[in-house]
Amino acid sequence: MALRAGVLGLGVMGRHHSRVLNNLEGVDFLGVYDPADAVGSTIEGKPIVKNLEKFLDMGFDYCVVAAPTIYHLDIGKALAERGIHALIEKPVASTTEAATELRDLFAASNLIGGVGHIERYNPALQSARVRIEDGLIGEIYQIATRRQGPFPGRIADVGVIKDLASHDIDLTAWVSQQKYVSVNARTAHQSGREFEDMLIAVGTLSNGTIASHTVNWLTPFKERTTVITGEKGALVVDTLTADLTHFKNGVAGDSSAWSGVATFRGVSEGDVTRFALDKKEPLLAEHEAFRDAVLTGDVTAIVTLDEGTNVVRIAEELALDGLEHRLS
């Protein structure tokens, strides 16, 4: 029997979730809740319901929460009261307190709760994680991410840290299998809004790996790169194209090397390999993982509410540190 699923919130991500759910094997997509008049009456041939209680009465096994972040806690409570599992878009909640309340509520209700940190399902990052576990680059020394692009008009309730840097916080902890133990930040408010729109962050992870994140909404091109540097080389991930490239350290002490170059190049250059990957759509992979978690109770392939709460906590620490270091 197919799982019955729905979506709450019909913005950009809500429409993508609806598309994927409507075609997801083993799932019966029933419809969407959104109270706005402008969204119409149907999507993917299914109804758009304006009343929340009427929507929940349709009888769901699980739902995707794609409403603005400020509504996540209230919607999550409503779902938990009905015994409905939930995949909640990132950030999981507006504050650490709200995220913690959601986490504890779903745990007490014995419900599966996941967070939509979609970058974890990017095939290039998934492949990088496997290759790191296999020892391809040895001990991880540094993870550096760059996530930049134009200002998104659809984001109004959070700053660039919770909207974009949350991806980097989660993927860095996940791909390294480490936790953040300290963070520092510099932020800017260049667009006249309440929330920050630029971030430079540095952090230290639990095994000594250092991390850096460059994030903003004010760059006239889109960039999504992660560079993972280790003792045996580096992996470069482009999540826009889902490409993974391995730069292997060369053999040190090559007597034929040009001495002038060798003096400033540091680690010598070795082979460069761009891996051929099976490029499944990350959102589809995310939905397959959550569907399977609901069916089996195994949450190892999803981003848990506990992990999502930790991301919000680190994001708030970065925002606070950034404010403390602003010029008066």
Find where tokens 């280790």 sit: 230
Domain limits, the chain:
3-117+284-302, 120-279+313-324
pLDDT digits (tens, 9 = 90+) for 125-140: 999 999 999 999 999 9
pLDDT at position 30? 98
What pLDDT score was predicted for residue 38? 79
The closest alpha carbon to 63, from 91, 31, 85, belongs to 85
Return the SS3 of 113.
Answer: strand
What are the residues whose beta carbons fall under 8 Å from the beta carbon of 116, sequence distance 6 or more? 13, 64, 66, 87, 88, 89, 90, 286, 303
At 224 the three-state DSSP class reads strand
pLDDT of 310 reads: 97
What are the tens digits of pLDDT across the range 150-163? 987 666 678 999 99
120-279+313-324 CATH, one of 3.40.30.10, 1.10.8.50, 3.30.360.10, 3.60.10.10: 3.30.360.10
Write down the pLDDT at residue 76: 98
pLDDT of 266 reads 61
What pLDDT score was predicted for residue 326?
Answer: 75
Place of tokens 């706005």: 36
Which of the four pLDDT bands, split at 50, 70 and 90, describes residue 251? confident
What is the spatial distance between Cα 183 and Cα 194, in angstroms, rounded to a whole number? 22
Q: For 181-211, write each residue's pLDDT tens digit.
A: 999 999 999 988 888 999 999 999 999 999 9
The domain 3-117+284-302 belongs to what CATH superfamily? Answer: NAD(P)-binding Rossmann-like Domain (3.40.50.720)
